[in-house]
Structure 1
Amino acid sequence: DEVDIVLPLPPSIPREDLDRILKDDPPVKVQLGRQLDVLGTAQLAVCDCGAPSLEAAYAGVPLIAVYNSPLFCVEKLWRRPGFMSLPNVLAGRQVVPEYCLGEMGSGRLAGEIESLLDDETRRQAMAADLGSVIESLGPPGALTRMAGAILELAGRGRT
């Protein structure tokens, strides 16, 4: 099966810079606009473990959370229960897989992507769990409460 890779382009990144970076990679469709528009058409997202992972959860899209900072990789070892992605932190358990790219490499990440794309049951279960995470944030106004939850977690530091 063919996979379409779609990348939402935030206004802060000049298109020329992105074109230079992507020139030798597989075909990537760059879509100008809001990330939620792109997520609304996705079967699976690969995103940063911070706010983008929560945006994917809000859109109901199964995801793989990644972080590339060596500091995050070290911090994950010290953090209890050890979660870095916001959906997992808010759930208090692993809802989505999360990986440090430095330990994983692109080949293993591609394998995890393929595995999830081939397993609709797993994606549906993940989407349901993500829905529960978003539901736990409460009724309308959840974005404000989400920001409060993030600030509260940030204020706690390591536990």
Structure 2
Amino acid sequence: MPQPPKRIFFSAGESSGDQHAANMFLELKKSRPDIKALGMGSQKMAQAGIDIRYDSANIGVIGVVEVIKQYAEIHRALNLMKQLVANERPDLLVCVDYKEFNFKLAKYAKQLGIKVLFYVSPQVWAWRPGRVKKYGAVIDMMAVIFPFETQYYQAENIPVRYVGHPSVDKVHPQYAKSEALQQFGLDATKPVVGLLPGSRNNEIKRLLPVMIAAAEQLQVTLPNVQFILPQADSISDALLSNYLQHTTTVIKCVKNQPYDVIQCCDAVMTTSGTATLEVALLAVPMVIVYKLAAMTYWLGRLLVNTPFIGLPNIIAGKSIIKELIQHEASADNMANEIKRILTDIEYQQEMRNHLTQVKQALGQGGGSKNMAALALEMLP
């Protein structure tokens, strides 16, 4: 009698997790075309063929205050996922990032005897190192995306595997830089500055107005500068136009081609997060900016034990990129740092050299393939 196809339950709560899970499932299908998947995610996972039972676009928020505002919906989603896991009894639960939510879901699944693979470790090296043991109690395997993370789990005898960072595989422009410049209507003889305000609505609201103000200042001191913004899938035209319609500075918005946009840039203002790594992989000089709700920021300062928030700095183990956090994330400071990058060639080249080293430290990639192989190993 033929065996029923294996079923994997995915839980991804943010746009990056949605992409990671989709890529992993596409790799799984190459080895096991009969494999089935369902769970929580969004557009990318649905396009990959995963049966989406809850659209996580509703709950992709960051920060204590923002989570409190969305608490009722997040709680409802968690209860729904628990119920689905209990009813469907998948062969494997793959929790992708979205730490606190997925910790609770993993704990519940483990109690039901379902194997749990956690993809993207919580940043235990930055805050609450004691969480390593807590996660170890609710998972069967932790898949980490930075090589230095394995030591924290190995020290507690928790199964861990370094699978590579997903960005290494996906950060590839479609066109040559000269073609992309032409396509976007940019003058190759004039500097280009990118604005990367984030992929969440609350990041746009906090950071885009300041980035626009910085662009306006730059246009006064460096009139030749051109501005471009790669629009995240999760950000609506309406939200962007709310801010862009109030400035006379021309900022071109481009959809669905983030890496072509970034490679065209001579300097970038970017929010903290995965975007900083994507810019680093293309060796484009940048300034990292971040703002949180005041309460979230002060709580973070009490809990976080790391000198940096920018991933390129964390990987390098030193400050190679300027970070402007909270009150320091002003239009003046952003404009001054971008101006320095554009006009101080030695400073710009030194930054590019450091970013090349960050890329080398991340290795050859293959994250999605490695994750698929690991999932297949874990299937009963």
Into which bin does the TM-score normalised by the smaller protein fall?
A: 0.7 to 0.9
Q: Which residue of 1 aligns with 2:237?
A: 15
Rounded to whole Å, the distance in 2 between the matches of 1:139 and 1:124 is 24
Partner of 1:132: 357
- The alpha-carbon deviation at position 46 of structure 1 amounts to 0.9
- Closer, same or farther: CA 126–78 of 1 in aligned 2, 3 Å: farther
- When residues 100 and 24 of structure 1 are mapped into structure 2, their CA distance, relative to the original with a 3 A threshold, is same
Hey, what does 1:103 align to over in structure 2? 328
SS in 2 for 1:60: coil
TM-score w.r.t. length of structure 2? 0.35
Aligned-residue CA RMSD (Å): 2.1
CA shift at 1:80, angstroms? 4.5
Residue of structure 2 in register with 1:53 after alignment: 276
Describe the shift of the 1:49–1:72 C-alpha distance in structure 2 as closer, same or farther (beyond 3 A). Answer: farther
When residues 27 and 76 of structure 1 are mapped into structure 2, their CA distance, relative to the original with a 3 A threshold, is farther
After TM superposition, what 4+ stretches of structure 1 lie above 2 angstroms from structure 2?
70-81, 101-104
TM-score normalized with structure 1 length: 0.80
Identity of aligned residues (%): 27
CA–CA distance in structure 2, aligned partners of residues 73 and 5 of structure 1 = 33
When Rg is computed on C-alpha atoms for both structures, the one with the higher figure is 2
- Unaligned regions of 5+ residues in structure 2, if any? 1-221, 372-380
What displacement does 1:73 show?
6.8
Given that residues 9 and 30 in structure 1 are in contact (C-alpha distance below 8 angstroms), is that contact kept between their aligned partners in structure 2? yes
Residue 114 (structure 1) aligns with: 339
CA distance in 2, matches of 1:76, 1:61: 29
Q: Residue type of the partner of 2:320?
A: V
Q: Tell me, yes or no, if the aligned pair for 1:7 and 1:29 is still in contact at 8 Å.
A: yes
> Quick one: distance in 1 between partners of 2:364 and 2:240?
37
Question: Residue 41 of structure 2 aligns with which residue?
Answer: none
Q: CA distance change for structure 1 residues 29 and 101 in 2, over 3 Å: closer, same or farther?
A: farther
Equivalent in the alignment of 1:86? 311
Higher relative contact order (CA 8 A, sep 6+): 1
Cα displacement string for residues 28-84 of structure 1 (whole angstroms, at most 9, x for unaligned residues): 111112211111101011111210000000111011011111434763586455100
